[in-house]
Structures are given as C-alpha cells and as structure tokens.
Amino acid sequence: GALAQQAPGAASPRIYNTVKQKLMEGRQVVGGTVSSPDPGIYCAMANAGFDYLWIEMQHSPLTYQDVARMIWACRGAPAIPFIRVPDATEGDIQKATDIGALGIIVPMVDTVEKARAAVRFAKYPPAGVRSQGGGQYGALWGNDYRRTANDNLTVVVMIESPAGAAIVDEIAAVPGVDAVFAASTDLSSFSGLPQGAPKYEAMVEKIRDATLKAGKKLGGPLAWKDRQGFSFFQGPGETALVRSGARVALGSPTVEGGRKGIAP
C-alpha cells in the first residue's frame, strides 16, 4: 500500500509522523477538530490525547498565518498537525506543508484527477511537484526534512458525494493516497439519504470495500469507531469538547442526545 512504498533492501526512512506509523502498524487513530485561531486552545487539544489534530481550513476563516502560529506554539506536542485544505490546489497544499502539516486532507474528491493533484502537490520530486521554497517545516521536523518528507506525509482524500462513491475504486488506487475518508454527513446531504438507510449504507460499504482492497486506510467520523475496517477518525471540535468538559465538571450526563453509531 501507499503507507509502505519501500524498495527491497532500502534503508528504512526516519518516520516522525506518529499517525503514519500507527496506521502502518494497523492501529486506529483519532483526531480532534480545530477551527479556532487561539494557540492556547490548539495546545490544549494537542496535548489532550488525540493522535492528530484536524485543522479545519475548508469550513473556517482560519488563515495560514493563524495556523502557522498555532503549530509553532505547540511544536513537540504529541498530536500531529493535519490540515483539511480548501481544495487540492498547488497554493493551498504548498502553504499547508510549508507551515508544518504532516497530513493533507482533501475534501470533495469526486474525480481521479483531484486525487492525483493532491499527491502531486504534496510530494517533492520525483513523486510530485512540490517546490522546496521555505517555511517552518525544517525547524519542526529536522534538517533532513527534504529527504524524509515524502515518507512522512499522509494524504487523505474525502468521498463526500455519490459521484465520488461511484468511482471510489479508481480514487483509492491512486499511488500516494494513504487514506480514503467516508464523509458521513455530506454523503447524506448530497444523496438525500439518512445515515442507516439501505442505499446510504451501500455507498459506505462500497467505499470501505474499494479502499481496503486497494490496501489503503479507511476514515470516517468517530461515531463509526466500531465499524469494521475503519482506522482513521475525525473527532469532535473545541465547542463540543467544552460542552462535554463542562458536563463532567458539573456532574451532568456527558452524552448528548442521539443514536449510537450515527455521526452528528
């Protein structure tokens, strides 16, 4: 699979992306979602026990300057910075990698070309066309970053529509894609089908089967943690965590209304 593309007899690369390492070992990983520009909140979440942080730049007003400061403020924290970029464009992915993200999450993937673009812009030559330029990546991840970055970057593509689900086998097969994420709420939004409906579940099963057949990792919301085959999860954001933390502090029930296994 894309998580372990090593030539026979080659020296093992230095892996500092602990998320990639855990996935290679067959373990599950969970990320907390960050939409706030506050470095203090970022650091609290980065040290709270999450494997990675899903930094939300598609559906938030966060700027790359905001996120650069956040990542730098908590350099050395256990949670690895992943950025959901607005789109699979060279500019977005270049900035995200330059400021130190080791994971690139690409939304709304419904063509093979978009998946290939994500890999191409995220990886240095010869695997891609990322420009070396400058950034805080070296200070964060070491002087050998240029040699090791391609082995440490994780590319996650999101299937959010029936159009993407229809060709998920081709998308999952793209070299350099590490994980395919089944976007629970948008799959429902675009299809008009509620979670749990037979046709909805058939879409999810198709994404699962194609992803695992391609040797890639399968992602979804944390509510799907007990579903077979899933190993990469998006966890709650800051506001939900504040609410649940307050309930604990006040001795109130911690679980909000809803059905088990259904993503909010």
Active-site residues, by number, are 59
What's the 3-state SS for 2-32? Answer: HHHCCCCCCCCCCCCCHHHHHHHCCCCEEEE
Residue 169, classed as helix, strand or coil, is helix
Q: Which two tokens stand for residue 163?
A: 């159009």
The secondary structure element, H or E, covering residue 62 is none
**Cα 129 to Cα 123: distance, rounded to the nearest angstrom:** 6
Question: Crossing angle for the helix pair 90-98 and 64-73, nearest 10 degrees?
Answer: 20
* Cis-peptide into 126, omega within 30 deg: yes
User: DSSP for 98-153?
Assistant: HTT-SEEEE----SHHHHHHHHHHHS-TTT--------SHHHHH-TTHHHHHHHH-
User: One-letter amino acid identity for 110?
Assistant: D
State the DSSP code for 224. G
